[in-house]
Amino acid sequence: MEVYAAEQIAKFKRLIADLERLRVSKIFAPALIASPVLDNWRHGFRRVSCLEGIVEGHPSLPDGHVVYTSEIWAHFHDDEEHFLRTLNRWYRLRTRRSAGHAPADGPLSFGGRR
């Protein structure tokens, strides 16, 4: 796990550096011309690992709504407490839903839309 975490941290540091350079207009086409080419492209979608559950104490979503988290990056447990780190935030995990149980209402994305 330690090597994987170090690789992910390095990857995110490179991403953050690029985003910062883009934000302050320090990226120019000549510097990117050697980038790999993607031809005949279109927008696609892929699955990422996330959790679905009833949220409580979220800073921007009301308690009791079913949500999908952003992508999972880490799981931590200490004594009987379990925590999950997603791309956006930490969550404390409570009861795991049984496989056959479906939520009562439709899920919300983290943007708050059904």
Q: What is the dihedral of CA 74, 87, 105, 114, to 10 degrees?
A: -160
Chain segment 93-104, per-residue pLDDT in tens: 998 887 766 555
pLDDT in tens, 41-83: 888 888 898 999 999 999 998 899 999 999 998 888 888 899 9
**3-class DSSP state for residue 94?**
coil
What confidence score (pLDDT) does residue 67 get?
Answer: 92
Angle at CA 89, nearest 5°, toward 48 and 15? 65
Separation CA 89–CA 93 (nearest Å): 13
Q: What is the mean pLDDT of the segment spanning 20-25?
A: 92
Beta strands 66-68 and 52-54, pairing class: antiparallel
The Cα diameter of the chain in Å comes to 54
pTM above 0.75, yes or no: no
Sign of CA dihedral 86, 80, 56, 58: negative
Mean pLDDT of the chain: 83
DSSP letter at 36? P
pLDDT in tens, 8-21: 899 899 999 999 99
Question: Tell me, what's the pLDDT at 69?
Answer: 93
